[in-house]
Amino acid sequence: MATTADFKNGMCLDIDGNYFFIVEFLHVKPGKGPAFVRTKLKNVRTGRVIDKTWNSGVKVNEVRIERRPYQFLYKDEMGYNFMHTETFEQIAINGDSIDGVQFLKEGDICEAMVEAASEEILTCEMPVNVVLEITYTEPGIKGDTATNTLKPATLETGAEVRVPLFCNTGDKVKIDTRDGSYVERVKA
């Protein structure tokens, strides 16, 4: 158990069975009345940010969250199978818990957030940028590089993204996994 005096950014709390990270907090001591703490909390599972005000000195349930590296192996009916890179333990993670799952390919290293006491996997985060090969896109026309026009392209994972006209089938491109946007073309 912790109190509001122990709050710090990044601390994880259990509020009504849901886990929240403290994004920011502020101790307020008004001239009249008791002190209180204003916080912004981010839900671990949904990513939604909420505001919550606490009376000073209130006890809260602190949760220990660990970040562990896992390597993606394969997908089957159980879900996405990963291997812990240090202990070689294998686990299956539901696709809903993985951010940017459409850009996941074999061998990628992801970071899983695990609740330490129960060993429950809360979420799994992909790297911010991944390099993938374009398996199909319409051919670019010579001279079509002056504008910021984008065309659809299918990647090796099956995901569809929009890339500039100069990108062709077989090119490797860097993709932002948070929003699926094109970053740059990668030289082989």
pLDDT at position 37: 94
pLDDT digits (tens, 9 = 90+) for 81-117: 999 988 999 999 888 888 888 999 999 999 998 888 8
DSSP for the chain reads: -EEGGG--TT-EEEETTEEEEEEEEEEE--SSS--EEEEEEEETTT--EEEEEEETT-EEEEE-EEEEEEEEEEEETTEEEEEETTT--EEEE-GGGEETGGG--TT-EEEEEEETTTTEEEEEE--SEEEEEEEEEPPPPTTTTSS--EEEEEETTS-EEEEETT--TT-EEEEETTTTEEEEEE--
**117/138 same-domain check:** no
Domain hosting 35: range is: 2-63
Residues in the chain: 188
**56/35 same-domain check:** yes
**54/6 same-domain check:** yes
**57/87 same-domain check:** no
Q: In whole numbers, what is the pLDDT of the chain averaged over residues?
A: 89
pLDDT at position 144: 61
Residue/partner pairs of 53-56 with CB below 8 Å, 24 or more apart: 54/4, 55/4, 56/4, 56/5, 56/27
pLDDT at position 81: 93
pLDDT at position 142: 66
pLDDT at position 183: 92
pLDDT at position 38: 95
**10/53 same-domain check:** yes
Total domains in the chain come to: 3
**What CATH number is associated with residue 89?**
2.40.50.140
CA–CA distance from 17 to each of 8, 43, 61, 72 (Å)?
Answer: 20, 11, 10, 29
Ordered mean pLDDT values, 10 residues apiece, the chain (188 residues): 89 90 92 92 88 92 91 91 91 86 91 88 88 89 70 92 89 92 87
pLDDT at position 44: 85
pLDDT at position 143: 64
pLDDT digits (tens, 9 = 90+) for 8-20: 998 999 999 889 9
pLDDT at position 146: 63
